[in-house]
Amino acid sequence: MNFFLQPLTLLTFFPLVGVLILFFIPREQKDTIRWIALIVSLITFGLSLWVLAMFNRADPNLQLVARYNWITVADWNIQYFLGVDGLSILLVLLTSFLTPISILSTWTAVEERVKDFMIFFLLLEIGMMGVFLAQDLFLFYIFWEFTLVPMYFLIGIWGGPRRIYAAIKFFLYTMAGSILMLLAILWLGINGGTFSVPDLLGADIDPATQMWLFLAFAAAFAIKVPMWPLHSWLPDAHVEAPTAGSVILAGVMLKLGTYGFLRFNIPLFPEASVQAAPWIALLATIGIIYGAAVSYAQGDVKKLVAYSSVSHLGFVMLGLFALNSQGVQGAILQMINHGLSTGALFLLVGMIYEQTHTRELNVYGGLWKITPVFGTIMLIAALSSMGLPGLNGFVGEFTILLGAFGSQAINNPWFAGVSALGVIMAAVYILFMFQKMFLGPQGEVVEEAEHHGRGLRDLNWREIAIMVPILILIFWIGLYPRPFFELMAPAVDQLVGSISGVAIR
Amino acid sequence: MSQTDFITVWPLTFLVIWSCALLLVDLAIPKDRKGLTALLAALGLALTLSFTLMQIGQAETGFSGMVVLDGFSIFVNGLLLVSGLLGIALAYGYVKRMGLERGEYYTLLLFSVTGMMLMAQAADLIIVFLALELLSIPLYVLAAFARPRAESEEAGLKYFLLGAFATGFVVYGTALVFGATGSTNLMTIVQRAAPGSPNLLLLSIGAALILVGFGFKVAAVPFHMWTPDVYQGAPSAVTAFMSSGAKIAGFAALLRVFATAFPSIAVDMTAILWALAALTMILGNVIAIAQSNIKRLLAYSSIAHAGYILMAFVPYGNPDVAPVSIAAGLFYLVAYAITNFGAWGVVIALEKSEGRGLEIGDYAGLARKHPVLAAAMTVFMLSLIGLPPTLGLVGKIYLFRAVIDGGFYGLAIIGVLTSLISAYYYLRVVVVMYMRDGEPETERESFLDFTTIATAVATVVISLVPQFLFAWAYSATLGL
């Protein structure tokens, strides 16, 4: 088949079409630029649905593979190798789903340098999509590092007051981890004779080396997740980033880290994974509790949501390293859930910020009466984030806790037990936030807005249109998660099966 | 002189004759039309380049084994000639604008290129010395070309004094090597220096002294002191050429001399090279953080990159790794040369007379005013850091691979950590261009614009389809 007509190649690089068109649009025509970016990202979403339609749920292996030799000189053996399976299909969909939503959310929020913004945003989508689809370590690394560049610009140019600091911190922090991974990738590529992941599976690497390689990969991914205690870049980046940037950062980019563990660490280094599982579980549990506690202490709404990510991603890590089917399935679903609910929260916070220009919890209050639609949607997003049964968060967290509780690899039910406290703590900080903003006496912001003669308005149609697709998914996953589990189950079972073989040996 | 002798060096001979002729022709070109000299010089380089490319696949030695023609020398010569062309393209408008337009500029540049090419083909330490002088002396003059500007004169003098000192080391090292083996020919040296033969200590000292001499030329720490001052003081177009060309030639000579003549003392040399590479990477990158002048920043960056390329040398004594190591070094030289010329192109576009427009702060607002120039500079900065999608990343991966192949994990870790440090100061340039407001003034000249954009495009495109360059670097093996 023609190189560019491979479904996955098309899906990955389609946003580039938008970038090329945007180059030739004069920068003054902001609306044209916005529409082009939106339409291109919607077509990309359509392409991902097309990929989903072709996806065979029963097959646990890589599908729709696009594989070509890329650099094959001497003993270099690097391939252009894209593929999708049950582990990545949902994340691919999440990426292409959140991108148009984020672009739509910038309609009025981004007025400066719209052209540059959209170009960086579409480039970012290419990078993220590539990470989820690349099955060759070299190709993966290129996409992985590439995501840093547009995100760096998004934070640094369109961010808040401390944007430059946050952008550089984000960049250096994440790069610090990934360069160690680069060395491990080279070691694997040289000693394994190939960079393609499926060919490297089952390579016989002695346990000590395996542990080093595991740690080098883990350094990159743990920073990205971020796992406690490597999370300190996250609040800065999330808070300073523009709303659309925060949505993508929390919704997709953090999953690059957890996905990395799932795709590379666990299958490539099964013995080291089993060995490391209790330690990762420990860090994950600390992260869950710590993230929740720190969230509660925040006076800034965006920071509160940012820290809640540390807690939620702790659940994902706990589920992954339960190394059993329930844990891993729950973890994958929770990656999607977090993308939806935290994405929704960042969007909502961004919408109110656009009107009030403050995120201080103290000055809010009593918004429910003035903006009921906003309040209702916020309530649903908040309840989804804290894991209310019937909404998506509950399904993920519950499955993870079940998995972690019965996990042979972690082999200690206490981690699951303590983590369960995190669910309760989530209820505390989320409800605290909601109460401060929407209930009680009217806060200063209301007067302030009236003082300026316009008052606070409720969500407009564009903003509701942004939220509705997310809300539909929140309810869908909460009430009927089976189709989602079915997509990933065969691949997860195959992965878990290969690990349990190792554990017995 | 037999026919084979002539075949080995005929592109070089052609360039020498062309340069001498140009010196005479230049006399007839009126003062205000020196652009013609530049075009003639470029034509000479282009012709030589085509002759060099015609030699692909040949392997000969000539002049009783004094010079050699092999895949390695063809690769390096090709790169040097392209560097010469880029050097002229950058200089064309710059010298006019800065009031430096004199015909000698281009002839000196050509002579320097001939020296560099001879260096790549040298198979005898005497020829190495000869080539070193031939490439250096024109560069000394070029560095001082902006006289009577004190900085430029200082740069020329400093470069000359330290360069002469460095040459002294090379000569003394050559003498000791001759004392130890009775020969200056690389092939004979390796035969007489088999493990267990007497005088190995003397040979090691000689080799180390040669390394010191070249350490000066390629600006490796601790022999780098001249670099920032000379790079800053010399006219920017000269610095651009010098920082790429002299480095390529210096490393080519080091690779050939060490890989051919000194494998038997690899154990001692490896330790020294290891330390040299580590020191150069660390010091170059750390000091660069403190720079606020873009020329000094690029000077320290150039030092740091010498360190990365030196990494490729470390495993040179291991016969399994040596081919990878040489290919990696060559590949990185290409990546560095392209990126470096591009970055200097942007510097030249923003430089104004009297050395203004060279502070990093002067780049504020470039992204709004000249998005293409800012985007190009971003590509170069990313490439120097080693981030995708640029040639710098592919080159660095190749280098690290050679180091890991050789089993020097510690050095690889130092390499990646210093890359991280470098990200900080390269990104600062990007921050200023994109995230601060300002009204930068730039010079737009067609040659300069073309060079900058072409190098930026090459940096990205070659990184996406590097197969041919990989293959070429890999086949550019030493013929001896």
pTM of the shown model: 0.92
Chain B residues within 8 angstroms (CB to CB) of chain A:
323-324, 327, 367-368, 371, 382, 387-389, 393, 397, 400-401, 404-405, 409, 412-413, 416-417, 419-420, 423-424, 427, 431, 434-435, 466-467, 470-471, 474
Mean pLDDT value across residues B188-210: 84
CB contact under 8 A, B466 and A71: yes
In 3D, which of A240, A254, A19 has the Cα closest to residue A119?
A19
Radius of gyration of chain B (CA): 21
Mean pLDDT value across residues A129-153: 92
Looking at A267, A285, A318, the residue that finishes a domain is A267
Task: Evaluate whether B211 touches B241 at the Cβ level (below 8 Å).
Answer: no
CB atoms within 10 A of CB A476: 13
The SS3 assignment for B122 reads strand
Amino acid in the structure at residue A267: P
A250: DSSP letter? I
Residues A504 and A479 in one domain: yes
Residues A112 and A171 in one domain: yes
Residues A138 and A207 in one domain: yes
Question: A432 and chain B: CB distance < 8 Å anywhere?
Answer: no
Residues A237 and A98 in one domain: yes
Task: Evaluate whether A227 touches A109 at the Cβ level (below 8 Å).
Answer: no
Q: Specify which residues B124 forms β-bridges with.
A: B185
When the pLDDT of each residue in chain B is averaged and rounded to a whole number, the result is: 89
Tell me how far apart the alpha carbons of residues A321 and A269 are, in angstroms, rounded to a whole number. 13
Residues A310 and A210 in one domain: no
What is the span of the domain harbouring residue A69? 1-267
Please give the share of chain B, as a percent, with pLDDT higher than 90. 51
For chain A, how many structural domains are there in total?
A: 2
When the pLDDT of each residue in chain A is averaged and rounded to a whole number, the result is: 88
**To the nearest whole angstrom, how far is the Cα of A159 from the nearest Cα of chain B?**
10
CB atoms within 10 A of CB A368: 17
Measured between CA atoms, the residue of chain B closest to residue A186 is: B401
**To the nearest whole angstrom, how far is the Cα of A336 from the nearest Cα of chain B?**
28
Q: Is the pLDDT score of A472 beyond 90?
A: yes
Tokens 């610095």 identify what position?
B239
Residues A295 and A256 in one domain: no
Instruction: Tell me the C-alpha to C-alpha distance, in Å, between residue A17 and each of A44, A50, A119, A237, B337.
Output: 10, 18, 10, 29, 31
The pLDDT score that the predictor gives to residue B297 is 93
Residues 6+ positions from B344 with CB-CB distance below 8 Å: B90, B236, B237, B239, B240, B243, B298
Question: A81 and chain B: CB distance < 8 Å anywhere?
Answer: no
The pLDDT score that the predictor gives to residue A504 is 47
Local confidence band at B263 (pLDDT 50, 70, 90 cut-offs) = confident
Cβ burial A63-86 (10 Å sphere, 16+ → b, else e): bbbbbeebbebeebbbbbbbbbbb
The SS3 assignment for B124 reads strand
Tell me how far apart the alpha carbons of residues A144 and A140 are, in angstroms, rounded to a whole number. 6
The pLDDT score that the predictor gives to residue B189 is 87
CB contact under 8 A, A179 and B419: yes
The pLDDT score that the predictor gives to residue A505 is 44
Residue B480 located in a structural domain: no
Task: Evaluate whether A284 touches A410 at the Cβ level (below 8 Å).
Answer: no
Angle at B329 between CA B327 and CA B330, to 5 degrees: 65
Residues A152 and A276 in one domain: no
Task: Kindly state the tokens that stand for B195.
Answer: 């493990």
Residues A253 and A309 in one domain: no
CB contact under 8 A, A172 and B431: no
Instruction: Tell me the C-alpha to C-alpha distance, in Å, between residue A341 and each of A206, A248, A469, A471.
Output: 42, 12, 12, 9
In 3D, which of B299, B291, B135, B116 has the Cα closest to residue B221?
B299
End-to-end alpha carbon distance in chain A: 42
Question: B283-318: per-residue pLDDT in tens?
Answer: 999 999 999 999 999 999 999 999 999 998 888 888
Task: Kindly state the tokens that stand for A283.
Answer: 């860090």
CB contact under 8 A, B420 and A172: yes
Report phi then psi at B466, rounded to 5: -85, 0
The pLDDT score that the predictor gives to residue B22 is 92
Task: Kindly state the tokens that stand for B297.
Answer: 């920043």
Residues A189 and A314 in one domain: no
Question: A311-353: per-residue pLDDT in tens?
Answer: 999 999 999 998 888 899 999 999 999 999 999 999 998 888 8
Q: Is the pLDDT score of B256 beyond 70?
A: yes
Residues A279 and A215 in one domain: no
Q: What element of type H or E holds A81? A: strand A78-84
What is the span of the domain harbouring residue B366? 3-475
Looking at A267, A298, A321, the residue that finishes a domain is A267
Q: Cβ contacts (< 8 Å) between A145 and chain B: which residues?
A: 387-388, 393
Amino acid in the structure at residue B348: I
Task: Evaluate whether B149 touches B100 at the Cβ level (below 8 Å).
Answer: no
End-to-end alpha carbon distance in chain B: 21
Question: A18-39: per-residue pLDDT in tens?
Answer: 999 998 888 888 889 999 999 9
**To the nearest whole angstrom, how far is the Cα of A441 from the nearest Cα of chain B?**
40
In 3D, which of B43, B27, B32 has the Cα closest to residue B110?
B43
Measured between CA atoms, the residue of chain A closest to residue B392 is: A142
The pLDDT score that the predictor gives to residue B2 is 77
Residue B80 located in a structural domain: yes
Looking at A267, A295, A317, the residue that finishes a domain is A267
CB contact under 8 A, A71 and B409: no
Task: Kindly state the tokens that stand for A424.
Answer: 């309760």
CB contact under 8 A, A183 and B412: yes
The pLDDT score that the predictor gives to residue A1 is 52
Question: A77-122: per-residue pLDDT in tens?
Answer: 888 999 999 889 999 999 999 999 999 988 888 888 888 899 999 9
Task: Evaluate whether A126 touches A110 at the Cβ level (below 8 Å).
Answer: no
Task: Evaluate whether A22 touches A33 at the Cβ level (below 8 Å).
Answer: yes
**To the nearest whole angstrom, how far is the Cα of B435 from the nearest Cα of chain A?**
5
Mean pLDDT value across residues B169-188: 90
Tell me how far apart the alpha carbons of residues B310 and B215 are, in angstroms, rounded to a whole number. 10
Measured between CA atoms, the residue of chain B closest to residue A182 is: B397
- By DSSP bridging, strand B67-69 and strand B60-62 are antiparallel
Instruction: Tell me the C-alpha to C-alpha distance, in Å, between residue A161 and each of A74, A120, A346, B353.
Output: 51, 20, 18, 36
Q: Is A97 exposed, middle or buried (0-12, 13-18, 19+ CB in 10 A)?
A: buried
In 3D, which of B155, B303, B301 has the Cα closest to residue B235?
B155
Question: B403-460: per-residue pLDDT in tens?
Answer: 988 889 999 999 999 999 999 999 999 999 988 888 887 777 888 889 999 999 999 9
Residues A254 and A287 in one domain: no
Residues A208 and A258 in one domain: yes
Angle formed by the axes of helices A30-54 and A89-105, nearest 10°: 160
The pLDDT score that the predictor gives to residue B472 is 86
Please give the share of chain A, as a percent, with pLDDT higher than 70. 98
For chain B, how many structural domains are there in total?
A: 1
Task: Evaluate whether A446 touches A361 at the Cβ level (below 8 Å).
Answer: no
Q: Is the pLDDT score of B193 beyond 90?
A: no
Tell me how far apart the alpha carbons of residues B396 and B335 are, in angstroms, rounded to a whole number. 9
The SS3 assignment for A400 reads helix
The pLDDT score that the predictor gives to residue B187 is 87
Tell me how far apart the alpha carbons of residues A487 and A329 are, in angstroms, rounded to a whole number. 10
Please give the share of chain B, as a percent, with pLDDT higher than 70. 99
CB atoms within 10 A of CB A2: 6
**To the nearest whole angstrom, how far is the Cα of A146 from the nearest Cα of chain B?**
5
Tell me how far apart the alpha carbons of residues B420 and B423 are, in angstroms, rounded to a whole number. 5
